Structure 1
């Protein structure tokens, strides 16, 4: 018995680029679209190397400047800086800290070479300051009298900034003279300090100290000046009050001038005055 012939399987259609698009299944057509997040490109960070200041510890090398033998001190400082790998700028920045004397540090910090961080300039200034026959003796017995006479010849201390500069220089000189026995007490010259103020400041400070009873009355009816600290505080208060009053007066004067400039002249009034004068 012959079996019926089975139909041959239909060949699978081949699709090309130019063929008609075939419908996609439902599951594929209505599936959720998935967005792949790609990292956003960021600019490359460039780190600029900062200048590292070398740490030179003066205590490790027993380095201290006392105001004498400045040439030897500078030579030792330069050798230590070369050992530690410090450059000229580092040496100029740190040389003021290698002295335990506050007055010497103050004078070095006020030198132009230290402010500009110039090693060669600072070296010349230090040698010209302390590289003398007697480098240790920076002030003499008449240094205070020279300071007082010069200040009085200029008309006395008139502003708060001038007074602070004057009193700072006075303390540097008096501390040096006390240290080496040129004067006995600091209060010996407090009268001269008071006389270096302007007459206006002396008068107002005297009235204020008499009012506050900080000035002691003598047997003949006069008054004696108080100690240096009380005297200095009184002078500073009067200087500060005077500076504020001057600034306030200048501000009032400028405001008055501005208000006068804004006013317009009344032409009718001027014309009436002219007719009445005729």
Structure 2
């Protein structure tokens, strides 16, 4: 939810898009506060890339409204383009040019003064640890280096909103974590990041809020913790000191599942603070000492599988 302190960087209402008889977006509503990471999850064909294409003015919606950085994407496309950066699924790097030349080319396309363009290129090469490779053709770069250069090119124009469409696909774990660190730095500087990804750990790691898109509809939205609590299977695991404590806890809790060999109880719970406090209070009232307590909630994989229908989805 947005407030006067955190106005919407992206506001979408009733967004619709079809290709022939295939409905790709079917009334999508989204609100993304400024200076946050918003992640859109969905299977192949769910409509993630189509959403990004519409919000970045690369495609027109059939219905609904969308505003990005305060501008209507249909009525003010030039203003939107001036406020955003886009890193797509596939690298936009020209492999025949050097890293520095790629950045300077973007600066020229944005009509930056020559001196400012050179300074910006040098700054971004340092920021993305590409200074030593600046004079080498991008064709010689590793996949991670090329992806870092691609993201650096997105930042030449100092965008207010950045769309990252599956930005770490194909990267090794170290390169992915470097990309994550960069996203955090951008948000700390006030940039808004709209992230689509199929890596659920990526959304869990980065996103302030997550929307799950299925067959063109938003089927759930919230923080990662809120979404996990919607899925059955959460529990609290208690380890007790001895069998007497296990028996006492069973009598107090009733619906717990014991493992007497391990001296543990599994207590159904949504993992929320209120339910956890109630559990602890019940144990404390009966002076039952707990040696160890751990909260186990479903992960985003469970959320994704429970909320989406991945069969029969066409690539889009």
TM-score > 0.5 by shorter chain: no
With normalisation by structure 2, the TM-score equals: 0.21
More strand by percentage: 2
Point out which structure has higher relative CO (alpha carbons under 8 A, 6+ apart).
2
With normalisation by structure 1, the TM-score equals: 0.24
Which has the higher Rg, Structure 1 or Structure 2? 1
More helix by percentage: 1
